[in-house]
Each structure stands twice: as structure tokens, then as C-alpha cells.
Amino acid sequence: MLWKCTACGYLHEGDEPYEVCPKCGAPKEQAVKLSDEDAKKIFDSDRTNDIHMAIIGLAMKIKDLAKEGIALNLDPTCVSDFKKAHDDAWVIKERSKAELAKHASKGKW
């Protein structure tokens, strides 16, 4: 079973709700049991959220490497490729961030 704190949105897995919300301290009376359908959405989206976060991390590494390549300024073709990689990584990162925000707004976090 999955319980949600109505005060802060904290999710708790267990047969019973917590006594006190570990995030905000609200009493267990403020925990509501999620429907099986809503709980399944959250459990199913857990992995895709992890994938999006990994993609964001990789995109940031690409941006850092591209900045290094731009700074080395070896030749115009390399610099051009690094600038494109930097810009493409930004788009990839922002796309995943937007999807995570959408998941959170739908309670799939």
C-alpha cells in the first residue's frame, strides 16, 4: 500500500501510514491511502524518473566536455562540433527536466 501526506506530498510504503510524517511532521491522520491505480502509476514511473535523472547527468557531462573542447580551440571544425554538442546537450537536459516536472504534477513521482 502507498500512503500520501496531504500536507507535503511525502509518499510512504507500508500496510499502515506512518505515525508522524518523516518530512513535515504531520500526524498520520493527514495520510491518505492511494488507490491501487494511483500507486501503480507511481511505482511504474519510478524507473523512468531514474532514467530521466541519469540522462540529465549525462547531458551535463557532455556540456562540460564540450566547454573544455571549445576552450582548447584546436581547430574550427572541432570547436563547431563542440558548440553543437553543448547546445544539443542543453536541449536533451531540458526535455528530461520538463518530463520530470510533468510526472511530478501528475503525482507520478
Domain containing 24: what range? 1-34
Instruction: Grade residue 109 by pLDDT with cuts at 50, 70 and 90.
Output: low
**pLDDT tens per residue across span 31-46:** 999 999 989 888 888 8
Domain with residue 27: its CATH number is: 2.20.28.10
Whether residue 23 is found in the same domain as residue 69: no
Whether residue 47 is found in the same domain as residue 7: no
Whether residue 65 is found in the same domain as residue 49: yes
pTM: 0.71
> Mapped to the 3 state alphabet, what secondary structure does the chain carry?
CEEEECCCCCEEECCCCCCECCCCCCEHHHEEECCHHHHHHHHHHHHHHHHHHHHHHHHHHHHHHHHHHHHHCCCHHHHHHHHHHHHHHHHHHHHHHHHHHHHHHCCCC
Q: What is the pLDDT of residue 3?
A: 96
How many domains does the chain fold into? 2
Whether residue 29 is found in the same domain as residue 46: no
Whether residue 69 is found in the same domain as residue 24: no
Q: Is pLDDT above 90 for 1?
A: yes
Whether residue 65 is found in the same domain as residue 18: no
